[in-house]
Amino acid sequence: MRPGQFTAALGFVLLLFLIFSGCAASNPKEVYRAYYGVEPPESKLATLDLGAAYELIIDDRYYVSGGKYGTVKLPAGTHRIQWAVGFGVSVMVEPSGYAAFDIASEVSLEAGHTYKFFADRTTGHGYKVYCWIEDRTTGKIVNGEKKP
């Protein structure tokens, strides 16, 4: 191999390494504890897995960013959860190339159960968005409509 070719190949490998090194490191997310005052026993807590939601507001009191937290622990019972999802979409459909949706859900959570937020959509003009919350412990949809 000629020195020039070797330098070019080395440069190419370094460039690839730089490009992929940004994606290689995993970023473990923290657990948000959505209760105030005395910590309830673990047996009285439900768990939320943010899944497709990039942010939550729980009972108008707790703001949870999906960038930092992946899971929320909160007391079982009925909660008002505002959650937001976003999709990258064709610029032919949305000029910004991005569409975000806010959903407000009144959900009854059971202790010891884990709930996950999902979102999906159809494609093309007039696309329909489906947002739902699934009880991962029982497999039931507790809020919203699952994409058929």
Partner 1 sequence: MTQHGKPSKMTRCGWILALLVLFAGCVHVPVSSDVVVNDKLQVAPPLEPGDVLLVYGENAAPPEQNDAVTYFTAGCQGAFHRNTLGELVKTILKVNPQPGRFAVRHVKEAQKEDAADRTETRSDSILRRLDLSKAVVSRDRLRYAVHVKETFEASVHMPLYVSPFGVASCSNKTVLESRVWDLPAERFLGSFTVTAEGEFTVVAYLLHLVVSPDTQKDAMEKLAWEIVARLAGLKPPESTGN
Tell the smallest beta-carbon distance from residue 93 to partner 1 (Å).
Answer: 19
Tell the smallest beta-carbon distance from residue 55 to partner 1 (Å).
Answer: 8
Q: Measured from the CB atom, is 20 or 148 closer to partner 1?
A: 20
Q: Measured from the CB atom, is 42 or 59 closer to partner 1?
A: 59
Contacts of 29 by beta carbon, 8 Å cutoff, 6+ apart: 68, 69, 70, 71
Q: Measured from the CB atom, is 62 or 130 closer to partner 1?
A: 62
| Positions in the binding site for partner 1 (CB under 8 A) | 2-4, 34-37, 55, 57, 59-65, 68-69
Tell the smallest beta-carbon distance from residue 49 to partner 1 (Å).
Answer: 18
Tell the smallest beta-carbon distance from residue 59 to partner 1 (Å).
Answer: 7
DSSP state of 123: -
Q: Are 143 and 107 a contacting pair, CB within 8 Å?
A: yes
Q: Measured from the CB atom, is 12 or 108 closer to partner 1?
A: 12
Tell the smallest beta-carbon distance from residue 147 to partner 1 (Å).
Answer: 27
- The residues facing 60 across adjacent strands are none
Q: What is the largest CA-CA distance in the chain?
A: 71
> Sheet of 62-65: strands edge to edge?
62-65, 55-58, 77-88, 98-109
Comparing C-alpha atoms, which of 32, 45, 49, 34 is closest to residue 115? 49
Q: Measured from the CB atom, is 32 or 115 closer to partner 1?
A: 32
Query: Cα(61)–Cα(80) distance, rounded to whole angstroms?
Result: 10
